[in-house]
A and B are shown apart, each in its own frame.
Chain A
Amino acid sequence: MSSINQLLLEAKSVTKYFGTITALENVNLKIHAGECLGVVGDNGAGKSTLMKVLSGLYKPSAGSLFFDGKEEILESPKDSQNLGLEMVYQDLALAGNLPIGENIFLGREPTKNIGLLKFLDYKKIKELTDAHLGKLKINVKSADQKVEELSGGQRQAVAIARSTAFNAKVVIMDEPTAALAIKEVGKVLDLINSLKKTGVGVIVISHRMDDIFAVCDRVMALFQGTNFAESELSKTSRDEVIGWIMGKK
């Protein structure tokens, strides 16, 4: 199945320095439509840096990114969003003081323009939010609830809903279950599986082998900022992947 699927995003020999520190060195990554790639690695292995390069938050020191086979240079997260790449951050990147709907559409709010002024279209935000939450089967009391009033799992669901509200092709999730109660983990994993079915490519960064083996099709390990190992999920085992994280093959 995944072999005939189209290549959505490819990173070729990405290198990133912070001053004298080498965070990434010649790292490659591919993600196809409808596929879930697990990215594992110890703390400081470069996972988060790689994701920030993919989303345009960091500029790579060397290397290139290809979206749908075309090389692109990202100036900001807005550029990667326009190319269909969305990021669900570990700290959730939600504004707790704003309601659910306004968080989902933050930065891309539907507006009614009068001259130069862009007035928010609150009615449309509410309609689109209700429809989108319904489609993903996310239950909240009301789209007008402030995010700071939600549980960790609900916040994660909002963050994922936010990432998919604009026909994303690739969604990157940084530790999507790390902050969740056990009963909420399953719901988030279900959400990832249903995203895959819609043809979205999902990249999951996780420490939890349970998550990786529940939703991923392929797994790659970073070690000290380099590609260390990669495999189809069916051709590897938990113990082997845990060994990769610690730098053992």
Chain B
Amino acid sequence: MENKDQEKESLYLKIMPYLEKYGILLLLVIMIVVMHFLQPDVFLSWRNVTNVFKQISWQSMLALGVFMVIVTAGIDLSVGSIMMLSLMILAIVAKAGAPWYVVVITPLIAGFLCGLFNGLGITLLRMPHPFIMTLGTLYIFRGTGNLISGGTPISGFTDEVRYLGHGRIDLTWLGLEKSQYLPVSLVLIAIVYIIFWIFMNKTRTGKWIYAIGGNPNAARASGINVNKILVIVYSLCGFLSGIGALILAGRTDSGYPNAGLQSELDAIAACIIGGASFFGGRGTVLGVFAGVMIMGILRNGLNLMDVSSFWQQVLIGSIIVLAVYIDVLRRDLGTRK
């Protein structure tokens, strides 16, 4: 009897980690299959699939940044504003006639500096919670973006500047048709996500980010410089928002005041759907990717089926609640009380 119980338990121990790691991918696959049956001609067509990736391209950058922040049990509400400010700076620098390689690098530096500002504010000013600091900078950065641009759109960038967001990799050499190209933004998503997967899972700094989220006192007592790691995390989050700005510049060919409005909420939603815990220390880069994809596919699928965008809001909200409830159930089973 006892043996059987032990066998059951060890089987459970073997399966749980995989379910925890890859369960969300299962949900993604199910969604893809369902959408395929609902829209067999369109959904998995080359055009539509690349469209989904183009649509999620800049959101996926914000989500990845917010994810790292959430792992530390923090939150960054300012990513949308960081992206908007970086985009406006890019537009102004471009309009001033700077060479493309300068234009391309400005949003990255601007985003990084905004994130650094958040990180230093949270640690040096000893804000009671990152929510407060980043709520403040949500207004500060967007206000600054409007101040420097006069609150009007600035349009027209060169092809080099637009490459990441708008570029196409021709695949005719593979015998494919001209319309079957690979968006550069898809390749960029893959590269950035792989780099950050390695960073979070294989490097010591990545492990410390998880440790801080798991138990900040343990991290501090272990001699980890918690504040330094937090500043790094918020800076990287800003940097990724800067990449988002560069992609958006390519997609829209314009810097505009409403860029990234409320996108911080989409980024947080993607992290939560992807299994990141608000209490910190839990979640995977793969999960965030799945979360971004799920939101992207849901929007795309509902658009294809001509469902009102109001329903999209209701459905995304419901998925957030459902995803977290599943997580609650899982944790009840998984850990000792």
Q: Give chain A's interface residues, CB within 8 Å of chain B.
A: 55, 57, 76-78, 81, 87, 89, 91-98, 102-103, 106-109, 111, 117-120, 141, 145, 148-151
Contacts and interface: CB of A to CB of B under 8 A. Distances in A.
A78 B204 contact: no
Contacts of B308: none
Contacts of B223: 76-78, 81, 107-108
A77 B221 contact: yes
Contacts of B204: 109, 111, 118-120
A97 B281 contact: yes
Q: Indicate the member of B213, B222, B281 with the most A CB atoms within 10 Å.
A: B222
Nearest to B223: A78
24 contacts: A78-B223, A87-B221, A89-B217, A89-B221, A94-B215, A95-B210, A96-B215, A96-B281, A97-B213, A97-B281, A98-B207, A98-B210, A98-B214, A106-B207, A106-B218, A107-B208, A107-B223, A108-B222, A109-B204, A119-B204, A120-B202, A120-B203, A120-B207, A150-B336
Contact of B211 (A76, A78, A95, A149): A95
A77 B220 contact: yes
B286 interface: no
A173 to B, nearest CB: 13
B48 to A, nearest CB: 38
Looking at chain B's contact residues, the main secondary structure is helix
B222 A96 contact: no
Query: Would you call the interface of chain A mostly helix, strand, loop, or mixed?
Result: loop
Contacts of A78: 223
A119 B218 contact: no
Contacts of B211: 95, 98, 102, 106
Interface of B: 13, 202-205, 207-208, 210-211, 213-215, 217-224, 281-282, 334-336
B224 A106 contact: yes
Among A77, A87, A107, A118, residue most surrounded by chain B Cβ atoms (within 10 Å): A107
A57 B221 contact: yes
Given A118-B205, A151-B336, A107 B213 contact: no
